[in-house]
Structure 1
Amino acid sequence: MILEVAHLDVTPGREADFESAFGVAQALISTIDGYLEHELQRCLERPNRYVLLVRWNSLEAHTQGFRGSPQYQQWKALLHHFYDPFPTVEHYRAVESSRS
């Protein structure tokens, strides 16, 4: 399992619009082969900062499957104009976990 971590800085004052657009966009990502689950969390100290956590069964499911899909083009149109600066995205593999 691969964990995608995206740090999302939304233009201040556009948080509600971003969250609404994300509500639509999340249906797109969940249709991709290899997608497992996701969560969007909002920072308490910096209310325009979010972290998106997406679990994939492989790195390629994200980097080739999702990013190469028509759904990604829709995702970009819905969300990318909210970011300032553009997000940093990294991928992680578990070393230790308390999850069963």
Structure 2
Amino acid sequence: MNKWLLLIVMLIGIILNGCSNNGMTGEKPPDVMLKANNKTYETILGSYCWTGGMEGVCVDTIGPVEILEDENPVQVKPGEKVILEMDYEPKPNESHVT
């Protein structure tokens, strides 16, 4: 009886592990566009951690001040709507903007 129970538990574990997927694909986060003032702006990818499939990677870049040194800031007024748009599913449930 114990042999059958062990076999069933192992089979269930294999099935659950094979079916688990966090839904993220690709080797790095998707490109993101910023929409403000009825215009669309490209963004620059900074440091990130990304898990796609069965592998994960963390990339560390220079800080936000240095990475944007030669870029013009996007001017927005207080309370103005700013949209981060990406062509990716599933959409993230968390974003960090610097």
* Common fold by TM > 0.5: no
Taking structure 1 as the reference length, what is the TM-score of the superposition? 0.27
Give the structure with the higher percent strand.
1
Structure with more relative contact order (C-alpha pairs < 8 Å, separation 6 or more): 1
Larger Rg: 2
Give the structure with the higher percent helix.
1
Taking structure 2 as the reference length, what is the TM-score of the superposition? 0.28
